[in-house]
Structure 1
Amino acid sequence: MTHPFDDPDSDYQILVNSREQHSMWPSGIRVPHGWSPVFGPDSRQACRDYVEARWTDIRPVPLRTAP
């Protein structure tokens, strides 16, 4: 049995927290507190493409907006 976070054939979703950090999460697992789904469910590759296109600066929001 494959771990749900490692299954290349599962559907995933992209979650974002208040610091605009992203996480790819298996679609069948409950979303943890503090995170919100913003994309999916879709294939692992589609989720990776979404993150690559939108999360271009991986620093948390407070560091990106600091003077």
Structure 2
Amino acid sequence: MDKSDDNEQYRVVLNDEEQYSIWWAGREIPAGWRQEGTEGTRDECLAHIDKVWVDMRPRSLRERMAQLDA
């Protein structure tokens, strides 16, 4: 990675399946995604995702599995 990229700002984004990603802070968020609320460097955003995204299964799968367990 080039040093000029170290200061680039990102935001954490989330889709309807509660899957996380990062997106450049200065760009429009793509359709199907919404801002989660965290902004910072790439490393800061990825560290936040590592903390909060503990179940990698899509929301629809988690809900379907919970119904089977009920």
- Whether TM-score is above 0.5 comes out as yes
Range class of TM-score, shorter chain:
0.7 to 0.9
Question: TM-score, normalized by length of structure 1?
Answer: 0.79
Counterpart of 1:23 in structure 2 is 21
**Count of residues in Structure 1 that have an aligned counterpart in Structure 2:** 62
**Which structure has the larger Rg over C-alpha atoms?**
2
Question: Please, which runs of 5 or more residues in structure 2 have no aligned partner?
Answer: none
Compare the two structures and name the one with the higher helix fraction.
Answer: 2
Question: Please, which runs of 5 or more residues in structure 1 have no aligned partner?
Answer: none
Runs of 4+ aligned structure 1 residues displaced above 4 Å come to none
Structural mapping, 1:4-43, within 5 Å:
7-43=5-41
Percent of matched pairs sharing the same residue: 31
**Cα RMSD (Å) of the superposition?**
1.5
